């Protein structure tokens, strides 16, 4: 229990105090559907496909979608590499606002500490963003780190018919500045139906940081724009035929 409390305290502390002090934005929704083919003991290769939709308000003002996937390789039972790509579209009532194509490289480290399960995810992204109004394309890079903790409530491990808690904090770093571009804090309740299907319902608070800038001769400092979201996700896990699955895994969201 002490390990659990310490981990939760660390996750909360990683979120920016200035972001927590801001007035929360409007509530929106994230809907995430994912199909995962994890690696096994004999077959190291795997992958995933995901579709995602977001709304600006609760069940209203649909404005954003993602279609993405990746190819993974298990270095061992606790280390996984992944190469991913995706298409991200943002639009408003008049029409499309921007279209982003993204490529990323990722390393995931899992730690199984008795009942507590930890996932460390490191990601490097290359982004090509086309702005329809300006008819221009910009290239950006970004670094991401996510610490995700899982705690099964009614079993020792996350297995069939398991209720679990999931908490994570993720930071987005921009090499060109401002260094801290975005912060996500998530807390949710999940249910593992069987070896294939799991669901999560949770709260996600995303804070975006805008770069300091000059306006009419005055320096505007770094500002924060936070927003709360209700997240509903479904993950379906496939399995390699005639192979031995890994002894334990976590139902993490690939997003």
Q: Is residue 100 part of a domain?
A: yes
In degrees and rounded to multiples of 5, residue 4 shows phi and psi of -65, -50
pLDDT of amino acid 245: 74
Q: Is residue 222 part of a domain?
A: yes
Q: Is residue 244 part of a domain?
A: no
* Burial degree of 232 (CB within 10 A; 0-12, 13-18, 19+): middle
CATH code at position 105: 2.40.160
pLDDT of amino acid 101: 97
pLDDT of amino acid 209: 87
pLDDT of amino acid 70: 97
pLDDT of amino acid 217: 54
pLDDT per residue, tens digit, the chain (255 aa), is: 444 444 444 444 444 333 333 333 489 999 999 999 999 888 999 999 999 999 999 999 999 999 999 999 999 989 999 999 999 999 887 777 899 999 999 999 999 998 999 999 999 999 999 987 777 789 999 999 999 999 999 999 999 999 999 999 999 999 887 788 999 999 999 999 999 999 999 999 999 987 655 555 554 555 788 999 999 999 999 988 888 877 788 999 888
HSE at residue 230, side-chain half, CA atoms within 13 A, is: 10
Q: What is the pTM of this model?
A: 0.84
pLDDT of amino acid 2: 47
Q: Is residue 247 part of a domain?
A: no
Q: Is residue 253 part of a domain?
A: no
Q: Is residue 255 part of a domain?
A: no
Work out how many domains the chain is built from and give that number: 1
Q: Is residue 243 part of a domain?
A: no
pLDDT of amino acid 12: 43
Q: Is residue 250 part of a domain?
A: no
Could you list the residue range(s) of the whole structural domain that residue 201 is in?
2-237
């Amino acid at each position: 229990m002490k390990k659990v409390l310490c981990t939760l305290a660390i996750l909360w502390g990683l979120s920016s105090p200035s972001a927590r002090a801001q007035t929360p934005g409007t509530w929106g929704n994230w809907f995430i559907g994912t199909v995962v083919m994890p690696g096994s003991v004999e077959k190291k290769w795997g992958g995933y496909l995901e579709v995602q939709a977001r709304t600006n308000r609760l069940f209203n003002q649909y404005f954003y979608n993602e279609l993405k996937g990746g190819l993974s390789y298990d270095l061992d039972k606790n280390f996984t590499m992944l190469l991913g790509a995706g298409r991200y579209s943002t639009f408003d009532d008049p029409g499309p606002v921007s279209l982003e194509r993204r490529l990323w490289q990722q390393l995931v480290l899992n730690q199984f500490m008795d009942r507590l399960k930890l996932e460390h995810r490191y990601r490097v992204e290359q982004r090509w963003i086309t702005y329809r109004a300006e008819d221009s394309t910009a290239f950006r890079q970004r670094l991401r780190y996510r610490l995700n903790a899982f705690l099964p409530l009614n079993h020792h491990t996350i297995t069939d018919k398991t209720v679990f808690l999931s908490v994570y904090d993720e930071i987005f770093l921009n090499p060109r500045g401002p260094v801290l571009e975005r912060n996500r804090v998530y807390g949710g309740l999940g249910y593992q139906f069987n070896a294939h299907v799991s669901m999560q319902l949770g709260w996600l608070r995303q804070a975006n940081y805008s770069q300091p800038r000059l306006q009419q001769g005055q320096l505007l400092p770094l500002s924060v724009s936070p927003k709360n979201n209700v997240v509903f996700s479904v993950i379906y896990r496939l399995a390699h035929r005639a192979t031995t699955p890994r002894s334990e895994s976590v139902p993490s969201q690939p997003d």
